[in-house]
């Protein structure tokens, strides 16, 4: 689908972008991938990886800057929206900044993509957008709603918008695995709550879900990958089972368990072999056979959360994954 096309990735210097770019270059050979982000040093470091590849371009800009987005989107066919303020405690203590990026930035991008006649946009969401209890989750829920409704603004033949939602990305910047790896030599690993569970998804799976959304969507769907869960204490044991685990309490705005589909979402949710799809509540799109396809409606009051998951990752499985990806895990 991306062959000979131009793709722009907002927030493209993050963990997702650093995986999406090489995988997409290898599989689809697009004409151009534009990395749009505001951190020049991260762009400088990323450019070294792709030095000499004429398909990679870099564009300094912020999704808060509407005019800059319009300039960056000239000739763009597809957009992956990965830019976000996403550290939960940071958002709690800097709420205005989180809103400016996650909500205002989404609005800017939607308008710009419609006006610049971009074909399709996939926005990255989070488990925290389902029944949100923190500001980050609330802003991402608002962002999800904006991207779903963007299909109405675009018209029948305009830009199509979709969303992918997934949980803890294994080894991504700022996540628990690289954090534990960076401090394990101290002999103590901090555990927020021994009951805590998290979904586990690899960056590769995240990229593949985005590819699927681009290929499958009619507009307004939210895609949720089926992935295993893990207890945070088991994550710690997989990193180093000789370390003492010290309970420190849940951080501001943090959930005990992750949730990706709520009981309210279940009324609009269909199940497929490897994922779920939450259909839009507006315009009777949830009854559209082109969106439903071969999906099976989930039971009433269905909830997809990390504590009631049918699939669990074992300590040996995670330990093996860490050993295989040691050089790729961001230890920052």
Among all residues, which ones are annotated catalytic? 128
d(CA 328, CA 43): 18
Residue whose tokens read 């319009």: 70
Task: Indicate the burial class of 167 (C-beta count within 10 angstroms; 0-12, 13-18, 19 or more).
Answer: buried
Q: How far is CA 56 from the centre of its chain?
A: 22
Both tokens assigned to 133: 């209890």
CA nearest 240: which of 314, 329, 170, 315?
315
d(CA 83, CA 16): 10
**Helix 315-324 vs helix 232-239: angle between axes, to the nearest 10 degrees?**
50
CA nearest 166: which of 107, 224, 228?
224
Classify strands 160-165 and 120-124 as parallel, antiparallel or unpaired: parallel
Is the CB of residue 35 less than 8 Å from the CB of residue 58? yes
CA nearest 282: which of 214, 325, 220, 208?
220
Is the CB of residue 35 less than 8 Å from the CB of residue 17? yes
Is the CB of residue 60 less than 8 Å from the CB of residue 40? yes
Supply φ then ψ for residue 126, to 5 degrees: -150, 155
CA atoms within 13 A on the CB side of 243: 23
């Amino acid at each position: 689908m991306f062959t000979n096309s131009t793709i722009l990735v907002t927030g493209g210097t993050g963990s997702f972008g650093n995986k999406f770019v090489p995988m997409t270059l290898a599989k689809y050979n697009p004409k151009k991938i534009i990395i749009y982000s505001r951190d020049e040093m991260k762009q400088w470091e990323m450019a070294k990886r792709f030095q000499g590849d004429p398909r990679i371009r870099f564009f300094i800009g912020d999704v808060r800057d509407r005019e800059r987005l319009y300039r960056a989107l000239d000739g763009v066919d597809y957009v992956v929206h990965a830019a976000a303020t996403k550290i939960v405690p940071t958002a709690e203590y800097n709420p205005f900044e989180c809103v400016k990026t996650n909500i205002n930035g989404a609005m800017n991008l939607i308008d710009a993509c419609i006006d610049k006649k971009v074909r399709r946009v996939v926005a990255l969401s989070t488990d925290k957008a389902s029944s949100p209890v923190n500001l980050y989750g609330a802003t991402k829920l608002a962002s999800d709603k904006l991207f779903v409704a963007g299909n109405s603004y675009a018209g029948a033949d305009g830009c199509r918008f979709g969303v992918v939602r997934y949980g803890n990305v294994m080894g991504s910047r700022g996540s628990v695995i690289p954090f534990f790896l960076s401090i394990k030599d101290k002999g103590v690993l901090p555990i927020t709550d021994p009951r805590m569970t998290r979904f586990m998804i690899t960056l590769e799976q995240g990229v593949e879900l985005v590819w699927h959304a681009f290929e499958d969507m009619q507009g307004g769907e939210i895609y949720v990958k089926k992935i295993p869960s893990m207890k945070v204490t088991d994550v710690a044991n997989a990193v180093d089972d000789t370390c003492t685990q010290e309970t420190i309490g849940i951080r501001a705005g943090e959930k005990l368990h992750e949730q990706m589909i709520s009981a309210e979402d279940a009324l609009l949710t269909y199940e497929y072999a490897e994922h779920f799809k939450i259909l839009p509540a507006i315009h009777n799109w949830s009854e559209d056979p082109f969106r439903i396809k071969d999906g099976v409606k989930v039971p009433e009051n269905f909830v997809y959360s990390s504590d009631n998951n049918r699939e669990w990752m074992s300590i040996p499985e995670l330990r093996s994954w860490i050993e295989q990806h040691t050089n790729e895990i961001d230890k920052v």
